[in-house]
Structure formats: structure tokens, C-alpha cells
A and B are shown apart, each in its own frame.
Chain A
Amino acid sequence: MKRKIENLLLEFARIHRFMMRFLREVVSPPYEFKEIIRQCYEIGWKSFPLISLTGFIVGFVFTKQSRPSLEEFGATSWLPKLISIAIVRALAPLVTALIGSGKVGSQIGAELSSMNVTEQIDAMEVSGTNPTKFLVSTRILATTTMIPVLCFYVAGIGLLGGYLSIAGKDDLSFLAFFTQVFEAIAAKDIFAMVLRAVVFGFTIGFTSSYIGYYSSKGTEGVGKAANAAVVASMFLVFIEELLIVQILSLVG
């Protein structure tokens, strides 16, 4: 029991140290721009088809599923407002983060842990390259910027999916739809969406890198790290979602 608590505290200390190292490396030159761009390409562009398709389906299906309950009140004309609130406030960042956890988190976890297992990280250190700077910072920065960008795409495409779903049943013009969409949301909703996306992006990058970086040696360590990276990222995303909702409702 005592040992378990000790281990937990050691883990926290290691996380803290990892975080501090990351922050230090981010602000101090030299900046690995080329590597950051490469990671952005891998993380952002490569997940774009998957995430945008998911966003479209979420928007489309959510609209279709919401229709009957609004129909009960004869309020189908409020469907755009409902979708707009649902997608901008909750679904867009959340869906992006969840799909991102699965796609990007497992990738980062597996990459770093396999480097760890094959002792490439140690070799890098020996050769004078800072592994935290080159491997970890670039990935975390890439997720922190790319997840919000992907989130904007998901919001746009999700709303488009919602529109197509409505247009399939009602004769609603595109302009009328978007007028209603923007009627329902306020500037603070967009701000909250960006904030969420940034926090989720950082969480995914940081968690996956940490788990990959400190994976156990041995071949099974790679699989474990990839799995743990996804599970931990998703879990943390939900915890943060809960906290952010609480904080934003306090702020107003």
C-alpha cells in the first residue's frame, strides 16, 4: 500500500518534470521548425480525411436523431439552432479530440515507445540532439495547433452535414440555416470551442508523448504504450471537458 502511494507520487513527480522540461525546451532556441511542420503534416493533414468524415457523419446523424423529439413540439424550425449549439459548444472539439486520441495518440505513443525500446532516444542524447526538444516538443506543439484547426473543420463540416440532413426533409435555404446557426451561438461559445480544442490538443500530445517516452522496455512495451496513450488521452479529454464546462458556466 505504502509502496503504491509512493509509486503514484513518483509518477506525478515524473509528469511534472516532463512538463517542465517541455516548457523549457519550447521557449528556448533553437526551434525545430522543420520537424514541427513535419509533425503538423503527419498529425493534422493525415488525420484530416478521417476526422472531417467523422464530423460530417456526426452532424448528419445528430440532426436526424434530434428531429423526432423537436417534431413532438412542432419545433423543427429550431433544428438549426439546436445543431449549432450542440456542434459548436460540445461536439466539434469533443469529436475531434476523441478521433484525434485514437489516430494521433496511438501513433505518437507507438512511435516514441518503439524509439525507446530500440534505444534510439538514448542514442540521440549521446549524439548531442536533445530528444525532448526534437521528439516531444514538436509533437506536443503539433497536436496543440492541429487539433484546434481540425476542430474548425469539424464544426464547419458538421454544420454542413446538419444542413444536408435538414434540407433532405425541409425546404430550407442555406442562408436561412446559417442565419439561425449564428443566432443561437455567441462569441463566448466560439471562444470556448477554441479553448477546448487547444486544451484537448495539448492533452493528447502531452499524454501520448509521456506514455511513449517512458514506456517499458521490451517488444510488448510498444503495444502497451500505444494502447495506454489512447485510453489515457480519451479519459483525460473527458475529465477536462467536465472541468471546462464547470469553469465556463461559472464565468457566464
Chain B
Amino acid sequence: MGTSERKRTLTVGLFVLVGLIILVAGILVLGTQQNKFSKNLVITTFFKDVKGLKVGNNVWFSGVKVGIIKEITFQSIDDVKVVMHIEEKSSEFIREDVNAKLGSDGLIGNAIVSLVGGTDRVPPIKDGDVIKSVNGTDTEAMFATLQANNENLVEITKNFAILSKQMVEGKGTVGALLTDSTIAESLKGSVGSLNKVMSDANKATANLAALMTKLNGNQGLIHDLTTDTEVFASLRQSAAQLQGVTQTATALMSNLNETSKRLNDKDNAVGVLLNDPATAVEIKAILNNLNASTAKLDENMKALQSNFLFRGYFKKQLKEQEKALKAVN
């Protein structure tokens, strides 16, 4: 065998080898991905309707592919038997009380069986187990709901149409806002005022800012208040005194309160005077009597002046009065 021939043989050998490696690698990857070579558990479930599920479709558990559909056959009038192959390495997390549910891996994707639920209380699935099935997302039901939504939407848009029409015609507040020019004018005015207010507010903020600067710059009363301990001490004293004053005022007020309460009662003189109508009547009677007595006394006194015993005294008094008048003049 010549060198060139040997080289040629080697080249062909290598070439074929690499080509076959590509093929074998492809087959192996395919096999592992489709569970051809891993150990599988055979699990069975029954559906009323498999909705286009096909042999070879995936089985998901918590969104992870754990197996494939191996066989779909009719069991009875309303049962379809679905046999799944589940990877053994995932099986310890799939419990016997898991439910099989039909779904799809996208809106128009392939039909799949998802295993849902399962609790720690029961053991993991075993080869040959039969699991329960539940009804999954029903596309028809979904579309029925969508139809109801559509009807609602029609209603809503109708209402909107009426609303917008009224708005254009100037009915209601919004309509008036949109169409009435006077409102627009006043709005403009309001906005102008608002502008002014805002500029004032701006100024105020500026002042506040200045104040803050001052404060930060160790000036003014507030600064003293916040920083000077002496002022604070005297303020505290004043506050204490003020407290004393208020306490006294409170005592006074309570006394006053008591007094006024007593005034309302009838068990004391002033209270009786103020509150008892019977007493008032009596007092009125007494006053009447007094009136009558004084009138009589007046008369008696006049009679007394004319009495001879006292006439001299009154004449003397009159003369003294005249004398005093003369002296003044």
C-alpha cells in the first residue's frame, strides 16, 4: 500500500466516521429527548373527550415535560383510555392523587396532558397506576365567555355613542363645557386667577425659602427659639406659670359653676328669690301692702305737720331755708 493510497484510505475513513457520528449523535439526542432510552412508567387515565390529543404529544407536570402519550384507545361509549409514559426520574415528585388535565402548549399549539395537584400524603406514582382526570380549559367555554364580553362591549359603545352625542349637543356639564363659550370665558378667567394665585404662591414659597435661608443662616426668632437655651428656659418658666394661671382659672370656674348651680336651687335665699314663683307672689303682695302703708304714712305725716305740737319746728326750718337762699344771692 503506497503512502498516497494510505492517506486516501485514512481520509475516507475519517470522513465516513464523522458523517456517521453526526447521524448517531442525532439519533441519540432524539432518543433522549423523546424518552426512547430512559426508563418509563406506564400510567393510564380516562377522558370523556381528548380534544385532538395525539400519540407522541407531551405530558407536562408543573410545566416541565415528564413524558409522552403512548396510546389512545376507546374504553367504553364515553371513555377514552390514554396511556402515558412518564420518566422514572421525575416520578418521585408525581403523587398518586395527581390529576390529568387536557391543555395546550400555546393558543394554537399542540394538545398536551398536564398533571396537576398531588400531595405529600400519598406515595409517588408506580408503574401501571391509573390516575383521575379533570376537565381542563375548554376553548368553547372560553369563546362563550368572549361572546358575552362582546355583547357587553356593544352595550358600552352604544352608551358611549349616546353620551358623546349629548356632549356634542351641549347637554350636561361636560357638553356645556365643550360647547358653551361663556363657560369657556369664565374658565379662562378662572385659569387667569389661578395663574395669579400660583404666582403669589410662588412668591410665598420664595419668601419661605428666604426664611429658611435665614433660619439656616442663624438669624431670626425661630432660630433663637430653636437654638438659644436661655430663651427656651424662660419660655418653659412662662409656660409653667401659665399653667398655674389656668389651674386657678379652672378653680374659679368651678366655684362659679357651683354658685350658679346653687342659684338654680331653691334651698337657699337667693335661689328661692330667683326660682320660686310662690315667693314672688308673696313678695308682690308684701310690696303692695308696703305701698299702701307708705301712702297712709304720708298722709299721717302731713297731718302731723298741721299738729300744733310740731308746727313751730316746721316754721323755723322754713325761715332758715329762706335765709340761706338770701346769703347765696
Question: A37 contacts B12, CB within 8 Å?
Answer: yes
Question: A45 contacts B22, CB within 8 Å?
Answer: no
CB of A166 within 8 Å of the partner chain: no
Q: A149-B19, A152-B19 are in contact. Are A41 and B56 (CB under 8 A)?
A: no
CB of B192 within 8 Å of the partner chain: no
Q: Which residue of B lies closest to A149 (CB)?
A: B19
Q: Which listed residue (A40, A44, A179, A194) contacts B23, Cβ 8 A?
A: A194
CB of A183 within 8 Å of the partner chain: yes
CB of B294 within 8 Å of the partner chain: no
Q: A34-B5, A183-B33, A187-B36 are in contact. Are A152 and B12 (CB under 8 A)?
A: no
Q: Which residue of A lies closest to B32 (CB)?
A: A182
Closest chain-A Cβ to B19's Cβ sits at a distance in Å of: 3
Chain A residues near B29 (CB-CB < 8 A)? 178, 182
Contacts of B95-113 to chain A: CB distance below 8 A: none
Q: Which residue of A lies closest to B58 (CB)?
A: A183
Closest chain-A Cβ to B258's Cβ sits at a distance in Å of: 89
Question: A37 contacts B36, CB within 8 Å?
Answer: no
Number of interface residues of B (CB under 8 A): 21
Q: Which residue of B lies closest to A39 (CB)?
A: B12
Contacts of A73-112 to chain B: CB distance below 8 A: none
Closest chain-A Cβ to B11's Cβ sits at a distance in Å of: 5
Contacts of B13-69 to chain A: CB distance below 8 A: 15-16, 18-20, 22-23, 26-27, 29-31, 33-34, 36, 56
Q: Which residue of A lies closest to B18 (CB)?
A: A153
CA distance A44 to B8 in the complex (A): 11
Question: A45 contacts B30, CB within 8 Å?
Answer: no
Q: A37-B9, A44-B12 are in contact. Are A152 and B33 (CB under 8 A)?
A: no
Question: A187 contacts B31, CB within 8 Å?
Answer: yes
CA distance A37 to B10 in the complex (A): 9
Q: Which residue of A lies closest to B9 (CB)?
A: A37
Q: Which residue of A lies closest to B13 (CB)?
A: A37
Chain B residues near A156 (CB-CB < 8 A)? 22, 26
Contacts of A142-157 to chain B: CB distance below 8 A: 145-146, 148-150, 152-153, 155-156
CA distance A186 to B27 in the complex (A): 9
Question: A153 contacts B22, CB within 8 Å?
Answer: yes
CA distance A136 to B8 in the complex (A): 20
- Tally of A-B residue pairs with Cβ under 8 A? 63
Closest chain-B Cβ to A117's Cβ sits at a distance in Å of: 27
Closest chain-B Cβ to A136's Cβ sits at a distance in Å of: 19
CA distance A182 to B5 in the complex (A): 39
Chain B residues near A179 (CB-CB < 8 A)? 33
CB of A17 within 8 Å of the partner chain: no
Chain B residues near A145 (CB-CB < 8 A)? 16
Q: Which residue of B lies closest to A145 (CB)?
A: B16
CA distance A179 to B5 in the complex (A): 41
CB of A124 within 8 Å of the partner chain: no
Per-residue interface assignment for chain A, residues 28 to 48, with 1 indicating a CB less than 8 Å from any chain B CB and 0 otherwise: 000000100110110011001
Q: Which listed residue (A40, A150, A178, A187) contacts B12, Cβ 8 A?
A: A40
Question: A190 contacts B26, CB within 8 Å?
Answer: yes
Question: B30 contacts A190, CB within 8 Å?
Answer: yes
Chain B residues near A44 (CB-CB < 8 A)? 12, 15-16
Q: Which residue of B lies closest to A187 (CB)?
A: B30
Q: A34-B5, A186-B56, A190-B26 are in contact. Are A150 and B34 (CB under 8 A)?
A: no
Q: A34-B5, A182-B30, A185-B30 are in contact. Are A190 and B12 (CB under 8 A)?
A: no
Closest chain-A Cβ to B60's Cβ sits at a distance in Å of: 13
Q: Which residue of A lies closest to B1 (CB)?
A: A34
Chain A residues near B34 (CB-CB < 8 A)? 182, 186-187
Q: Which residue of A lies closest to B24 (CB)?
A: A152
CA distance A153 to B19 in the complex (A): 6
Question: A186 contacts B30, CB within 8 Å?
Answer: yes
CA distance A114 to B30 in the complex (A): 46
Question: A190 contacts B15, CB within 8 Å?
Answer: no
CA distance A14 to B94 in the complex (A): 66
Question: A149 contacts B20, CB within 8 Å?
Answer: yes
Question: B27 contacts A150, CB within 8 Å?
Answer: no
CA distance A203 to B29 in the complex (A): 30
Chain B residues near A48 (CB-CB < 8 A)? 15
CA distance A39 to B19 in the complex (A): 17
Question: B16 contacts A40, CB within 8 Å?
Answer: yes
Question: A155 contacts B12, CB within 8 Å?
Answer: no
CA distance A152 to B17 in the complex (A): 11
* Contact sample, A vs B, 12 pairs, CB 8 Å cutoff: A38-B5, A38-B8, A40-B16, A48-B15, A149-B15, A150-B19, A152-B22, A152-B23, A155-B26, A182-B29, A185-B30, A187-B27
Q: Add 7 more A-B contacts to A37-B9, A149-B19 (CB < 8 A).
A: A37-B8, A37-B12, A38-B5, A38-B8, A145-B16, A185-B30, A187-B31
Q: Give me the interface of B with A, judged by CB distance under 8 Å.
A: 5, 8-9, 11-12, 15-16, 18-20, 22-23, 26-27, 29-31, 33-34, 36, 56
Which 10 residue pairs of A and B lie closest in terms of their CB atoms, listed nearest first?
A149-B19, A152-B22, A40-B12, A41-B8, A152-B19, A156-B22, A152-B23, A182-B33, A41-B12, A37-B9
